[in-house]
Structure 1
Amino acid sequence: MQQHLSGDTEQRSGKRQSIGKRKLSDQGESSQPSQRTLSELLVNNSNHHDHRTSWQNSSSSNKRSRFSHSPSPSHSSSTASQPVPPSKMYNFSGSPPKNKAAFGRSVPGSEAASSVKPKPFKAGVRQVQNQSTQYSPVVGSKKLVVKNLRSGARSTHEPYFEKVWSKLDAALTAVFEGREPETSLEELYKGSENACRQGQAPALAKKLQDRCKEHVAGKLRPNLVTRAGGGTDVDTLRAVIEAWTAWNTRLITVRWIFYYLDQSFLMHTKEYPNLRELGLNQFRSHIFSNQTLKPKILQGACDLIAADRGARTGIMADSPLLRNSIELFHSLDVYASDFEPVFSAQSQIFLTSWAQEQASGPLASYAENSHRLIEREVERCGLYSLNRSTKQKLSEILDQTLVSEQEAVLLSEKDILGLMRAENKTALKQLYGLLERQYRGVQLKNAFSSYIVEEGSGIVFDEGEDVEMVPRLLQFKRQLDDIWRDAFDRNEKLGHTLREAFGHFMNLGKKTESTGGTDNPKTGEMIAKYVDRLLKGGWRIPPSQSSKLEQLADEDAEIDRQLEQVLDLFRFVHGKAVFEAFYKNDLARRLLMGRSASDVAEKNMLDRLQKECGTNFTHNLESMFKDIDVARDEMAAYSSLLRERDRKYRPPVDLHVSVLGASAWPTYPDVPVRIPSNLAASIHDFEKFYHNKHTGRKLSWKHQLAHCQLRAWFPKGYRELVVSSFQAIVLLLFNDIPPTRACAIRRSRRQRDSRTLQSLACAKYRVLTKDPKGKEVAPTDEFSWNAGFTDQKMRIKINQIQLKETKEENKITHERVEADRRYETQAAVVRIMKSRKVIKHSELIAEVIEATRSRGTLQPTEIKTEIGKLIEKDYMERAEGNQYKYVA
């Protein structure tokens, strides 16, 4: 019997696997089922020996032609046809056979086991020939040993390798020349694989490496060097990229052919690179590293970047070529070592030249163009796959050339002030962004502070626009807040600069006629008067805000919002005494004349002032509100008394009186007035009522604060005139003159009378006529009743012209504030000296400033002046060591 065990497991991929030694171990005797089964199988198959033998002989040639890939040793036909008896095939002893048979059986006492030679096998075929005979199982451990056949002699491999390489070499020539190989890729692959399996992988790798070097160094490089001599750097770069692309394409085919060599040998050895590295190394070593080509390749890439930047190089921008160039540097692994240093040096030169050229222009243009340049550089890094390290180095170069080297240009105070005056927030934002690249944005504080003080001082000391001071300051504050928020990115230090500079000019003082020769800040007075206009309802919506504010239906809410804006300015005022004095005067007029637009708004403003300045600041203001409530109760009691009287005992004029405490209210001078008899009778009746109710009190009448309602007859109809007390006294004088006579009255030389006559004869409502006509009143002017006066309104309010009176009152108020500040300073010094007894000059100055801070910041020179006055008054004296001593 002949039995075949095929060891050729050739797969479709062309790979083979060899079968190693296989062992079948049997332990025990007849109890082992595997041993009995094998014995029975050999016995049962003995009857088919002739049939198996003939099948083997007839098919052995076909097997050899189908599976043979290498020459096999020659053998005689007689040997190949001789059957091997079973005793020569299997070995069940505990040790392997001593002969060279594929399968052998060694039985103790048998001499045939050592004399029979094994039949040689064809390549890739393992067969076992067996001649069935009867045998007796032996007792003990049994082992089945399977061994590989020995390959043919090594001398027979060399001719085969040379034959395979000749085909591979011809195929490489065709591939490198761009042609299709004559031999199929499958056959080339099998030849490469067989050579590797025969142990020729190192030789095959060496020949392949030399062949690639011969093509790259012998053909590609000379051609590229020749082309580089007659073209630009960009042309050289383009030719190298074309050669690189073609070389990569051909390497793909080479890798297909030598794939088995690459995977089984090159990937596991350090002596030779794999096929991918082989192609890169050859191109990098012989083409890119060439002394002629390398500078041109790198410069060509830099020229393309310069063209993309818009530099005047005479080279057209070529994005695809530039992108392929960067990919080439990445693929050859020369990006960081060769390209990046050259690119950084070229960028340094370009950006330095660009910054110097742009810095000669306007600052706004420089900031804008710099931002565009930075954006393009960053975009280029991402678009062309530049390394992160390149982007970092480029960013450092940009910071150095655009910011550090141009710091004087960026921080030019003149140019920055120009941008701020023009409210160019876009340019300021770009300027700040450039400086912040090196954390220098805070260096704008000097220019920012100068602009705030300069512009703010111009608003404060513009005497022709005093009335518009607060609206202009509010607009200026909004502008600064917008710059700080939008342009300076809410920088904390610049925000502190804004507040510090704004507070500085808000508290600047200047000795003028309107301030009574004092240096009191003007802002406190104007803020108080602006609040007075708001609370009287005299505020007008600016045209720029009318469309927005028309949507607000709640007037109280709108007034409240505007008061909150005014308080933003009020917080910058250090000396609150000026504001307090003027606010107190205006509040008194609003309360006495009933001119407040909203009681709710008045109380809200009072609450805000209490939160800002404390209860001491608002104590007198709260007392004024309480006095008004008490006066209303008094007037209600008086009116009740009048209603109980008989009509004939009632006073001829309806009188409304507000009795106020002198301590909380402003001080008003007593003005002597000749009161008409009917009005004097009403006043006398109220005094009698009040003295009967409150004994020991004295009433001081302030006629300049009073106002009257008169019913006037004109030939064209009756009208109700709302006038001041002085205007009413003047008009009542004309009642003693018959209307049919031409009447006249000469103006007195008193200034107050002049203003009164001017308001009645030269203003909008002219109930009197002046001869001669004109807007000014002279001592010789004559006034008469205007019989032709008419107006569409039934009730007419004639305002008192109080321009000169206001200046006089302002001067008096400023002088009083100045005096109060001196007294408060002296009182603070005395309190401190009384508690400390002895104190140094510097310590006393510091404690006085801290004690009077709520009323405004005092200057050391002012405190020193008051100290000298106290020394003259013997409250204190000088001591040794620059000290002061309290005198009890």
Structure 2
Amino acid sequence: MSLLKASTVDFEKAWEEMQTPLASLLSGLPQSLPNAQWLAMYSSIYKICTNPGAPQAELLFFRLRGLLVTHVDALLEKLRRTDGEVEFLKAYCAAFEAFTTGASYISELFRYLLALHIWNDIAFATLKKRIARSVVGIYDTARRESADDANVCGLRRERRAEDDAERCVLTYYALGLCKHDPMSLYRAELDRPFVQHTLEYYSALGKELISKLSVSEYLKEVEQLCLKEQRRCEGILHRVTIADVRQMCCEVLVQAHAERICADAESFLVHNQTDDLHRLFVLFSELPTEHALTSFKNILKKFIEQRGLDVVRQFGHEDAAKNPESYIEALVQVHNEYFALIKQTFGFNALMRRALDQLPELLARYTHCLMSHDKRPGGTPHELHPAASGIPSTSLLAEESLEKKVETVGVVFCLIDDKDVFKKHYAKFLAKRLIKGTSIANDLEILLIQKLRDICGHDFVSKLQKMLKDKLLSKELLGAFAAWMEEKDTELRKEDAKHALAIQLHLSTAYHCDVLTAGAWPISSASAETQLLLPAPLEVHVALFTKFYTERSSGRKLLWVHQCASGTLQARCFAKRHEFALSFYQMLVLLLFNTATQLSHADLRRLTNIPPSDLSHHVASLVKAKILLASSDAENPSYALNFDFTSRKLRVSAVPSAPVEPAKAVKATSREVAEDRKMALQAAIVRVLKTRRDILLPQLEVDVVEMLRNQFAPSPEMIRQNVGILIDKEYLRRHESSEHRLVYVA
């Protein structure tokens, strides 16, 4: 066209020649134009637009627009007179398709004019509400028919109606004239009214069904309704609408009745209705929030805990003491049963796995039971075995059997998400075994820690290995102290007369002292702030050991944690000799009765400086063992030695049972885990940024999760929260180009 030369043209004559072929094209009637006529129209249009005297492109534009408007007005009048929804849609689609076909030919002649604007401004703007109502009406008819129709979709019974609806939807796509958002017309004029009507329809239907069906039957019906609606929309409506409709169905049919559904969830668990449980889980998972799924998770968790309590009641105190291994295995079996349920029925969903979040502590206590030979009572109600009595000894569990069970612990450990929680509890139990000397074999302790190291790496077990190392070093240190005392014997006696008492105590008493690294051992030093009043020989002996250690290890400070100590006292004041296994506080109390026959509670507090709550607890255990007799004075009772004490046993244990772990302590443990996770997460983020220097947030989340997978599974929200903290601390910053791009600040 650009090769043609500009020339004058008679506009009216040229338009008269073009008007009839253009009207014929728009009518959709069979029409074949010879090439000569096409070329003549091209030439005329070019001459009109490039007329040297006065270009008449604007006049041509309005003439063509008038032709299109007249044609569309005629179609509009014809469509208005059409009766019946299906017939109307069929006529509308036929007219639109004929118009767009003709407009496409005209567009080749008039590229600057978009004929669809004419249709949109006149026909669609007038009929759009009726079009949407017609599509919704066809779907309403299909829904009602599908209730009595064996076919999946009611639209299949009226194939022509389905085709007309599909063709009508395509017209919305063709009329999407906004280049930046071509779907805006479809969303505004069809998607929104369709979804809103669907919400109202299924909301009313859900209320009707829930009132006359059981929850199990209701879930089956909802599953079928959602499936039918999805299939009814597929291939006709846009995928965005299909997703919106599916979610809307779940909201009005499931979320609106979640409380009623959850009320029957426990019944599904009791009767092992796995199909109903799976159906419930799938429908809850499709909801926009996790509120309903969290409620169901809490029901599952409570039910699992109840099953565990049933095992406790079934065994009872005595049976558990006689057969602790079977007791433990029964509890583990409960866990395995519901672990399989979560894996098979709930697809191993992360939220549902939290219903088994007691597993880390359970496994830690199980491990403690296997690795300990302590037969004394004194466990807590939270322990895996009631009263912690009857723990299997080496005679009950051969070393080979123990090694197999250690292997089992490693296998179960791999299944735990919160490995850091297991380590927190395991460290407490390991410290208890090492301090009290109740571990079956040091080699088995090393074997298990090595297995944990192989699974999670050296950093994970560094503190546990330090605990074992401290025990070995303490043994060597005690030998060196004995040699130092022997070497300095004469010098110490001359230095202070009190040293003779300490030397005598050292030579006549069998004792062991552990020097533990602060920070590696899960031991609270709060009680160490209270300065106990020790017997004179013991106080001097402590001072000598402190002097020896300070000379040997400069720069280190000893903090004595006496509440962890225990020992055995020999008593020769009864009918026969007895040995009492006691806590350190109890030893301090009984030693006072070497010089007194009766002491009040206030006297014991004044002479020992033991914290009041601890003093009452430990003295109560002595009274319970009938070693001491207590007066009836509730405010300030007095205690006297029971000279009539008798026991068939030579060695009598009066160690008090550990008090029930208070809620504050449980929360403190959770808080410690949260703080440890926060530090580990921030360290991992900085480590990744140091390596990459520049990274997108989604990739950072992937790298951090992979780095910490052997400790715990951080959520994206947790990662983003700590990224914000590190930005505030100026360890990293957001890139200027995008807030989702992070840069390391050296």
Q: TM-score scaled by structure 1?
A: 0.42
Quick check: which one's helix share is greater?
Answer: 2
Structure whose alpha-carbon radius of gyration is higher: 1
TM normalised by structure 2 equals 0.49
